[in-house]
Amino acid sequence: MLKISKVKNAYKEIEDILGTDFVSDKDFMKAAYSRNVDPAFPDRWADIIVKPETTEEVSEIVKIANKYKIHMVPRGGGADLVGGSVSEGGILLDLTRMNQIHEINVDDYYCIVGCGITWGSMLSELQKKGMTTGILGPGSGFAATIGGGLSNATVGFSSTKYGLVPDICLGVEVVLPNPEGTIIRTGAASNQYASPFCRYGVSPDFTGLFMGDVGIMGIKTKAFLRLFPDPPFKARRYYMLLKDDYSNVFKIGHKLRKEVGDGLNDLMVWPSILFQLVYAQTINKPSKRPKVTGPVFSVTLEATDQRILDVYLEKTEEIMMKDNVTRPFEWQEIDLDMVLSKDWKFTLKEEFNFFQKYISTAPPKSSCTTCHKVAISRLNESVQKGVQFNITNQKEFPPKNPPYPVFASFLMFLPNGNCVIVGGLGGDNTDENRETTMNIWHKKIRHQVRYGAAHYWLGESISQSIVEAGAYTPEFMQFFKDMKKAVDPNFLLSPNKFHMYSYDHDYTEHLVKD
């Protein structure tokens, strides 16, 4: 009873601030906001859904939430894969009306955008001015927002050269979840006389507190992002390994990074099974069955001048063809409707349709994702461990959902010796199999944590599994809680993540020995 009147009162006060159009407690709205993109979490309904447009409105909502002690979860595009942007009860803050571009500064190479803008909208505007943020955001970039990218420490297209989304962040404007709804700016912008042109030099790096935080430390309202002139000359080439041997992947990847350097915009390795699956579904098949012998490197190069690009192309060819371990590959060997690499042109559409096109080839259901980063020199060993885990634990997977190891060998290279192993397992979101799916998902993440992996989106399922695996020392966990308490004294923002349910809760209850 108390809860109902608390929620009702909060609703009325929020309505006084936002007007009737941007707050709802209707069932169809709760249902529409009840999911992210995963086959394991049940539907979860928030009590109130709000759509603020300004930072001040967010601050007022936070004050009301504190007054009635109602928890809150921020949400951008809702394209999360690990249950991060849904809320059981409480207030769900949809930030997609905060989608303005406030400034594009081509002289000082930064922009200021609302955190609810999508990657697609922002990049389309930047491209008109010959600029880019370098990293192009996630594969979900037509729907996903900058706020989601910063909170999930997103890896995406062009991350090989430009790093993760937080790496291009110069600072943020954030509403702290405290009773005052305090608004702060970080980076150079924490000097109230400065523009947000750089990240360091005014105070400790408080920007980092809100990067990859999966929305537990504050509600990001504006982002200050680095800009780069967009190199106009780009090319892509593909090479197939003659053998399915991942030790060569490490060697070649390492050499390309070292020798092509700044020209290397994006480097991915796609598993051979992907091509077999795509071929099976292709309509316009070539007359000859493709000879798929191993994984394929996709190498994207960029330069400010065609002559420089030609040098990068030559260097790439030299590295790839040395020692006879790869051969040039064309998508037309699989599908006659695909363009030849010499005719390839960069488009946002291709990048943002990539995962929808390839990740859903098998299994036909979306997957419980397990994407994580490993040190590049441990790549081969980590891929093998992942495959072995699936074999050893086969019986624990939901029935009729074999642990397809397809994407356990889909790789993206990052700067400084990082490599992403994109992966997932087939889940089954039915009442009878949800628990089995969730259990094996957590177990697989714990396994990865224990071989030294670092994930990126953490949401609920991954952040909890990291705690379960015993990754954090007691000292670290205490520090973490103390930092959160400093910004969120009533413990209202994004509960459940990292198995945090209150400041007194004993996380050791959740440790799991596998």
- Can residue 86 be called a binding residue for ligand FAD (CB under 6 A)? no
Least gap, CB of 369 to ligand FAD (angstroms)? 8
- Can residue 197 be called a binding residue for ligand FAD (CB under 6 A)? no
- d(C-alpha 381, C-alpha 450), whole Å: 13
- Report the residue from 355, 451, 472, 480 that binds ligand FAD according to the rule CB under 6 A: 355
- Closest C-alpha among 77, 183, 185, 195 to residue 138: 77
- Can residue 358 be called a binding residue for ligand FAD (CB under 6 A)? no
* Closer residue to ligand FAD, CB minimum distance, 405 or 495: 495
Burial classification of residue 355, based on how many CB atoms lie within 10 Å of its CB (0-12 exposed, 13-18 middle, 19 or more buried): middle
Least gap, CB of 95 to ligand FAD (angstroms)? 5
Q: Strands across the sheet with 219-226, in order?
A: 101-105, 110-114, 219-226, 169-175, 183-185
Q: What is the DSSP string of 428-459?
A: --STTTHHHHHHHHHHHHHHHHHTT-EES--T
Residue keyed to tokens 């970039």: 141
Least gap, CB of 147 to ligand FAD (angstroms)? 3
What type of residue is 400? Answer: K
In sequence order, what are the residues at sequence separation of 6 or more whose Cβ sits closer than 8 angstroms to the Cβ of residue 155? 138, 164, 165, 371, 373, 412, 414, 420, 456
Q: Are 359 and 277 in contact (CB under 8 A)?
A: no
- Can residue 148 be called a binding residue for ligand FAD (CB under 6 A)? yes
What type of residue is 448? Answer: Q
- Can residue 154 be called a binding residue for ligand FAD (CB under 6 A)? yes
* Closer residue to ligand FAD, CB minimum distance, 157 or 404: 157
Binding marks (x or -) toward ligand FAD, 299..338, rule CB under 6 A? ----------------------------------------
- Report the residue from 120, 134, 147, 295 that binds ligand FAD according to the rule CB under 6 A: 147
Reading the block at residue 57, the tokens are: 């409105």
- d(C-alpha 458, C-alpha 492), whole Å: 18
- Report the residue from 10, 40, 50, 81 that binds ligand FAD according to the rule CB under 6 A: 81
- Can residue 461 be called a binding residue for ligand FAD (CB under 6 A)? no
* Closer residue to ligand FAD, CB minimum distance, 301 or 458: 458
- Can residue 123 be called a binding residue for ligand FAD (CB under 6 A)? no
- Report the residue from 18, 91, 112, 115 that binds ligand FAD according to the rule CB under 6 A: 115
- Can residue 111 be called a binding residue for ligand FAD (CB under 6 A)? no
Residues in the chain: 514
Binding to ligand FAD (CB under 6 A) within 478-497 occurs at: 494
- d(C-alpha 150, C-alpha 156), whole Å: 12
Binding to ligand FAD (CB under 6 A) within 11-40 occurs at: 36-37
- Report the residue from 457, 491, 498, 507 that binds ligand FAD according to the rule CB under 6 A: 457
- Report the residue from 44, 59, 70, 84 that binds ligand FAD according to the rule CB under 6 A: 84
Return the ∠ at Cα 377 (arms to 374 and 383), rounded to 5°: 55
- Can residue 65 be called a binding residue for ligand FAD (CB under 6 A)? no
Helices (H) and strands (E) in the chain, counts: 14, 21
Reading the block at residue 313, the tokens are: 């192309």
Q: Which stretch binds ligand FAD (CB under 6 A): 61-69, 125-133, 215-223, 273-281?
A: 215-223
- Can residue 133 be called a binding residue for ligand FAD (CB under 6 A)? no
- Can residue 456 be called a binding residue for ligand FAD (CB under 6 A)? yes
- Can residue 267 be called a binding residue for ligand FAD (CB under 6 A)? no
Q: Which residue is nearest to ligand FAD (CB)?
A: 148
State the number of binding residues for ligand FAD (CB under 6 A). 38
Q: Are 174 and 93 in contact (CB under 8 A)?
A: no
Reading the block at residue 116, the tokens are: 């609810």
- Can residue 78 be called a binding residue for ligand FAD (CB under 6 A)? yes
Binding to ligand FAD (CB under 6 A) within 156-195 occurs at: 156
- Can residue 138 be called a binding residue for ligand FAD (CB under 6 A)? yes
Least gap, CB of 224 to ligand FAD (angstroms)? 14
Reading the block at residue 399, the tokens are: 């029935």
* Alpha helices, H only, 134-245: 146-151, 159-162
- d(C-alpha 101, C-alpha 112), whole Å: 6
3 state SS of 483: helix
* Closer residue to ligand FAD, CB minimum distance, 80 or 302: 80
Q: How many CB atoms lie within 10 A of CB 126?
A: 21
Q: How many CB atoms lie within 10 A of CB 252?
A: 21
- d(C-alpha 270, C-alpha 176), whole Å: 41
Least gap, CB of 115 to ligand FAD (angstroms)? 4
3 state SS of 84: coil
- Can residue 206 be called a binding residue for ligand FAD (CB under 6 A)? no
- Report the residue from 7, 95, 267, 492 that binds ligand FAD according to the rule CB under 6 A: 95
- Can residue 403 be called a binding residue for ligand FAD (CB under 6 A)? no
* Closer residue to ligand FAD, CB minimum distance, 78 or 426: 78
β partners of residue 301 = 235, 264
- Closest C-alpha among 143, 155, 191 to residue 171: 191
Q: Which stretch binds ligand FAD (CB under 6 A): 136-144, 186-194, 335-343, 443-451?
A: 136-144
- Can residue 151 be called a binding residue for ligand FAD (CB under 6 A)? yes
Q: Are 352 and 141 in contact (CB under 8 A)?
A: yes
Contact set with ligand FAD (CB under 6 A): 36-37, 73-81, 84-85, 95, 115, 138-140, 144-145, 147-149, 151-152, 154-156, 214-215, 219-220, 355-356, 456-457, 459, 494
